[in-house]
Structure 1
Amino acid sequence: MYITITPQKLGKTYGQSSASFVGYLEKENQGIEQEGMEHFFNQYGDDISAEEVVKEIDGNAAKLKKIEPKFYSITVSPSEYELRRLENSSNDLKRYTRELMKDYVKCFNREINGRPISVDDIKYYAKIEHQRTFKGTDRQIRENQPYATKILQLKNEVRNIEIGSMEGSIKKREREIAKLESQAPHQQNGKRIVQGMQKDGNQSHIHIIVSRKDASNSFSLSPGSKYKASNVEMHGKKVGRGFNRDQFFERAEKTFDTTFGYQRNFAETYKARKDFIKNPKIYFASLMKLPTNEKAIAFKLMGKAGLPIMPSIPTNQVQLALKVFNRLRSGVDVAIKSSSIGI
């Protein structure tokens, strides 16, 4: 489960309208018959139009400045293993989203009119998508890049030879291009994976647009707050502030597991991924203590995620293995942070 929470920022300011983002989320509906489309939904309604989403989100930003986000984007990406537990991707993910947003409000250290925040106090709209394309930050694209660079160079040479600005053999370069295409380490359906290529398999995920202001357009609720949970005095009263992201990510996992009866492996947990980045010694020690079958699954999951794996580690060489692990870890920090849940 990968979850990101981001404000929609444009340079030094924030988007003043949700129209562009909502339009982007409508891309999968292009060229599809009405009955096959995925529409926006919220806690209680389905089949909400893009126009209504823009109107409601843009109209719920009272007193917010240009330097403040008007809305946040939450992206929830279940793994292929998690998706296998679903009987109906769209309906199950809608059900999960509605439970997830109950978790979301519980992670605010705020009250409204003297009571805890409830899901009815927020304004959000969500949409299920079933496709993904490879991005420049994906491991497959980064590791294929040296081949892509050489192929582009050879293609430029072919064009220069064709227009007469360069001498040489076109056929020789075409053979080199074909060889590089086949040698690239990451392939899909017999073709080199390139940026923009659609990913195979079940890629269902959830996009959620949530307003910065509460549903009454009176209170600011920011999941981007740097405060986890604290109190501050305002107008002579103590007021709670902050949003606990760690708690939200952990609740998101537990809610999924409970809703769909999913048995989560150690390597899939938010705590494990966080330890991998911030405290590898604890991560490694926990990994080594797993039962053999769970450890095997953990290594398989790590391989799918692109993490470095040492398939066979004798227990009497744990310290040596940890040193190797730490060296490997230093090379994947960027990749982990770019794909993980907001650590």
Structure 2
Amino acid sequence: MYISISAQTMGSNFSQSVSDFVEYLEKENQGLVLEEREHFFNQYSEEFSAKEVIKDIDGNTAKLKKKEPKFYSITVSPSQRELKQLQNSSKDLKHYTRELMKDYVTAFNREINGKPININDIKYYAKIEHTRQYKGTDKQVMENQPFASKILKLKQDIRKIELGTLEGSVKKNEQEIAKLERSAPYQLNGKRIVQGMNKGGNQSHIHIIVSRKDASNSVSLSPGSKYKASDVMIDGKLVKRGFDRDTFFSKAEQTFDKTFAYKRNYAESYKAKKAFVKNPNAYFSTLLGLPTHEKALAFNILGKAGVPIVDIPTNQVQLALKTIRTLKRGIDIAIKSGSIGI
């Protein structure tokens, strides 16, 4: 599972309205009849229109300056292995979102009217999406790019031949294009993977819009706080502040596993990600110490994430620093892709 929290920006400035983001999240509903559409939802209701979301979030920004985030975006991307555990993607992910947001509020070191904040103190709207497109930065698109460049050149040559400004054979160029299309290393359903193409398999994920201000529009709650937990004097009053992302990520994973009876492998756990970042040697030692079945599954998960299995150490002697350095980049990418940890 991969979870990200970010303040929405437009260039170097924070978005002053949630409208553009809401419009972006409505893209999958285009062309669908009402019964087939995914609606915005929150802790209390199943169906909110885009207009209602925009009005509510944009109207909950009291005393926030232009240089301060008005809202935050939380994206939750379960792996395909995790999604297989669900019985009904939309229904199950909505239920999980509501439990997840309870974890979100407990990660704040804040009080409202002398009480720790609870789910009723925040204002959020969420939406389930079922497709993802390949981006220009994806490995598959990047490694297919040399083929794409040659194909483009050949197509340009065909156009010139047809216009009479270049000598050559259109048929020969078309045959070369077909050969390049087949030779590209990454294919999906018999077609070369290109930017903008829908990814295969179950790609269901969650987008959550959270207002920076609490539900009363009086207290600022920032998950982007650099403080995990601290107390500070403001106007002569001791005020709690901070948001503990580590706590949130850990609880989010635990909640998923408990809710769906999911048996998480070490290689896909948040604990593993932290171990790899802080102490790669300890990470591989733990990996090698797993029971045979669990270790085989871990290697399978890493392999599907694009990590070169042939380079993974298979015994303690191979746990050399050079080997770890070689693998670090690949596993970093796998972690960020959502296949490992959060």
- The question of a shared fold, defined as TM-score above 0.5 by the shorter chain, is answered with yes
- Post-superposition CA distance 1:169-224 (Å, at most 9, x none): 32232222212211111111011111111122211111100000000001111111
Secondary structure of the residue aligned to 1:154 is helix
Secondary structure of the residue aligned to 2:319 is helix
Aligned to 1:258: 258
- Post-superposition CA distance 1:246-265 (Å, at most 9, x none): 11111110000000100000
Secondary structure of the residue aligned to 1:310 is helix
Q: What letter corresponds to residue 141 of structure 2 in structure 1?
A: I
TM-score between both structures, scaled by the size of structure 1: 0.94
Moved more, 306-315 or 130-139: 306-315
Q: What letter corresponds to residue 307 of structure 1 in structure 2?
A: V
Task: Give matches, 1:282-301, under 5 Å.
Answer: 282-301=282-301
Gaps of 5+ in 1: none
Report deviation, 1:316: 5.4
* Identical counterparts, % of pairs: 66
Change (3 A) 1:143 1:273: farther
Secondary structure of the residue aligned to 2:61 is coil
Moved more, 113-122 or 264-273: 264-273
Q: What letter corresponds to residue 158 of structure 2 in structure 1?
A: V
Secondary structure of the residue aligned to 1:125 is strand
- Post-superposition CA distance 1:13-57 (Å, at most 9, x none): 111111111111111111111111111110011111111100000
- Post-superposition CA distance 1:60-89 (Å, at most 9, x none): 001111111111111111111111111111
Report deviation, 1:131: 1.3
Task: Give matches, 1:185-204, under 5 Å.
Answer: 185-204=185-204
Report deviation, 1:314: 4.2
Matches of 1:205 and 1:132, distance apart in 2 = 9
Maintained 8 Å contact 1:4/1:341:
no
Aligned to 1:181: 181
- Post-superposition CA distance 1:294-325 (Å, at most 9, x none): 111111111222223237744253234x5323
Maintained 8 Å contact 1:299/1:311:
no
Report deviation, 1:336: 4.4
Task: Give matches, 1:71-110, under 5 Å.
Answer: 71-110=71-110
Q: What letter corresponds to residue 264 of structure 2 in structure 1?
A: R
Matches of 1:253 and 1:334, distance apart in 2 = 20
Report deviation, 1:137: 2.2
Aligned to 1:15: 15
- Post-superposition CA distance 1:243-287 (Å, at most 9, x none): 111111111100000001000001111221233344322221111
Secondary structure of the residue aligned to 2:255 is helix
Backbone CA RMSD of aligned residues: 2.0
Q: What letter corresponds to residue 298 of structure 1 in structure 2?
A: A
Change (3 A) 1:274 1:159: farther
Matches of 2:197 and 2:190, distance apart in 1 = 13
Maintained 8 Å contact 2:17/2:58:
yes
Matches of 1:239 and 1:54, distance apart in 2 = 31
Aligned to 2:323: 324
Aligned to 1:221: 221
Task: Give matches, 1:25-104, under 5 Å.
Answer: 25-104=25-104
Change (3 A) 1:35 1:28: same
Aligned to 1:114: 114
Aligned to 1:6: 6
Change (3 A) 1:342 1:67: farther
Q: What letter corresponds to residue 41 of structure 1 in structure 2?
A: F
Q: What letter corresponds to residue 238 of structure 1 in structure 2?
A: L
Secondary structure of the residue aligned to 1:215 is coil
Aligned residues: 342
TM-score between both structures, scaled by the size of structure 2: 0.94
Gaps of 5+ in 2: none
Report deviation, 1:109: 1.1
Moved more, 126-135 or 253-262: 126-135
Matches of 2:97 and 2:227, distance apart in 1 = 25
Change (3 A) 1:85 1:341: closer
Matches of 1:160 and 1:223, distance apart in 2 = 56
Report deviation, 1:162: 2.1
Report deviation, 1:153: 2.1
